Chains A and B, each alone.
Chain A
Amino acid sequence: MNDVLILGEVKEGSLDMKTLELLGAGRKLCGDLGSGLSVVLMGDELSKAVDQVISYGPDKVYKLEHPLLRGFKTDLWVESLEQLCRQINPKVFLMGHSFIGMELGPRLACRLNTRLTTDCIDISIDPEDGVLLRTKPVSGGNAISVFKCPGEPQLATMRGKVFKPAEPAEGNGEIVDMVPEIDESMIRVESMEVVKEEIVALDKADVVVSGGAGLGEEDGFEMLDGLAKALSKSFGNVMIGCSRVAVDKGWISSDHQVGLTGTIISPDIYVAVGISGAIQHLVGMVNSKKIIAINNDPGCNMFKVADYGVVEDFEEIIPALIKKLEELS
């Protein structure tokens, strides 16, 4: 019954909605395998999250509650998951390609001597031999590869916003309480301080105005702020995004970064200013409903994926655009 296991994520005591996508992905595999779906939740206080996840109809919920599992201490989390997997031997184990999954996945794979595929956009079962097929963009997104690997559990981390979230479902899932055998001595990396920074929730934006290396200097973002302000008179959440180069140059903090190693978003409107359109950036924004590119190089790749383009120096266009928007509103 334990064939497909997913790692649920809990945020401030409640189920993180990302988990619903994993439930969706897991359910699909269960159909192919004719097996049951289990969820593991970890933390120091899980009753609320367990109730929430049960309402989506998994067959089993493993509740790994322990005071030391408060906060995310990787050493203890890996240890606990290793213990769980050794006990229940899942055939497939899925996690999100989230901060937590990116860190747990490789370490768990190593300990269980199995192979992991990260950042998958699809998974299915090969009907020939019942083995997991793991579909993953590679080379930044320039190619899509399907991998088939030995070892169990067959481990994959799943990209967000690809799978349809599971719908609530009837069921009388069993709750299995398990207390991992962990203690402080297993912590090898000590947390000294968590520094919260003001973080943009780019995935909640309706409009993203994004700047890249073409801005030339930090001041360019001030101009983009002006544009964002002008647009927010007509649109809901307008936020500032950027390419990785803008982060590398120290012009803006990395929470604004859009792309493969930043945030993957699909706002109503994405405005790319001075961004060339490298594949690792495109995968982060190509599903935006409308894409507008401003770039002085008519040959740049961003125009190939955009709906509207302006070939011009941004320093000429942005101030003029702000003025026109104000006239129109």
Chain B
Amino acid sequence: MKELRIIVCAKEIPDPEAPLSDVSVDAEKMEVIVDAPQVISPFDENALEAALRITEDMDSKITVLSMGKKVSDTVLRKTLAAGADELILLEDEAFEKLDSHSIASVLAEAIKKIGEYDLVLTGRQAGDWDSGQVGLLLGEMLALPCISLAREITIEDGNVMVKKSIPEGYELVKARMPALVTVSNEVGELRYISRTKMLKMMRGARSIPSWNREDFFSAPEELLKMGIFELSSPPDMGRDCQILEGATPDEQAGKLAAVFKALR
């Protein structure tokens, strides 16, 4: 069989699991401010893990695509350390704060330039804007069969077979490649990367290609910003927590049992 080519779309975002106290909202600038390091959006890591598992004993090439106004290659190099073969950054002033449709059209153009591929994988949704659209939009734009919410992906005779989560359990579906699949966390966490491998990749001299708009984007379409009209903090969720103290776990448990009894 010829080499299997997988494109994984991944983006960096401020750690979505940062403690609430490190997150604030600037209503004036309409920005969410997160005082936390940048990470790869978790479901995109799941997508990369899926790609690595599919290609385990296969002649393959995994390309990671990441776009933004400016992409930090130190964050994205992790994908190479994990086992991706190639990382391409799509960077341009014009790529800042785009809406889902425009993001998908930028990615679609880049993928057309790459040309040959069998599978495009994305996370089911990104951890910053929680939109959950780019994968399927991209699939439509590239006129590919689209499968969402994958929990397991395998390849058989030029077809992609996916166990896709559905409300009643899962559905095994099949599509001719090339195809687009959005990946859910059931696929499993991105594999462990040893410190030495990581450091080597971070400090390595390997240069990461960066394409700007002129390099690949020729669609006549206008790139639109996310239409944020207003941004505010959520309503306060805090409650007055009564801590059930006790000298021993037994004593604490006794108090907790009494709480349950009162709630009955």
Contacts and interface: CB of A to CB of B under 8 A. Distances in A.
A234 B166 contact: no
Interface in B173-204: 173-176, 179, 184-186, 188-189
Given A74-B146, A192-B173, A324-B257, A99 B166 contact: yes
Given A106-B132, A196-B169, A309-B243, A143 B256 contact: no
Main secondary structure of the interface of B (DSSP, over half): mixed
Given A106-B136, A143-B25, A149-B99, A193 B253 contact: no
B130 interface: yes
Nearest to B243: A309
Interface stretch (A21-29, A39-47, A215-223, A284-292): A284-292
A147 B168 contact: no
Interface stretch (B52-60, B85-93, B228-236): B228-236
Given A138-B128, A235-B264, A303 B241 contact: yes
Contacts, number: 247
B207 interface: no
B231 A145 contact: yes
Nearest to B167: A99
Nearest to A190: B174
A216 to B, nearest CB: 16
A142 B257 contact: no
A328 B257 contact: yes
B243 A311 contact: yes
Interface residues of B, number: 83
B19 A304 contact: no
A192 B171 CA distance: 7
B185 A150 contact: no
Interface in B213-264: 224, 226-234, 237-244, 249-250, 252-254, 256-261, 263-264
A119 interface: yes
Most interface-central of A75, A106, A119, A254 (chain B CB within 10 A): A106
Contact of A110 (B137, B167, B228): B137
A189 B160 CA distance: 10
B252 A305 contact: no
A279 B20 contact: yes
Contact of B249 (A115, A119, A293, A312): A312
A111 interface: yes
Contacts of A254: 151, 165, 184-186
Interface stretch (A50-58, A85-93, A168-176, A315-323): A315-323
Given A99-B167, A303-B241, A139 B34 contact: yes
Nearest to A105: B133
Given A191-B173, A234-B260, A143 B130 contact: no
Given A109-B137, A320-B254, 9 more contacts: A133-B229, A138-B32, A146-B230, A147-B226, A150-B224, A189-B174, A279-B23, A282-B237, A313-B249
9 contacts: A110-B141, A118-B133, A145-B228, A194-B169, A194-B172, A234-B261, A292-B259, A316-B249, A317-B253
Interface of B: 16-17, 19-20, 23, 25, 30, 32, 34, 99-101, 104, 124-125, 127-133, 135-137, 139-141, 145-148, 151, 161, 165-176, 179, 184-186, 188-189, 224, 226-234, 237-244, 249-250, 252-254, 256-261, 263-264
6 closest Cβ contacts across the A-B interface?
A197-B169, A320-B253, A324-B257, A316-B249, A106-B136, A188-B145
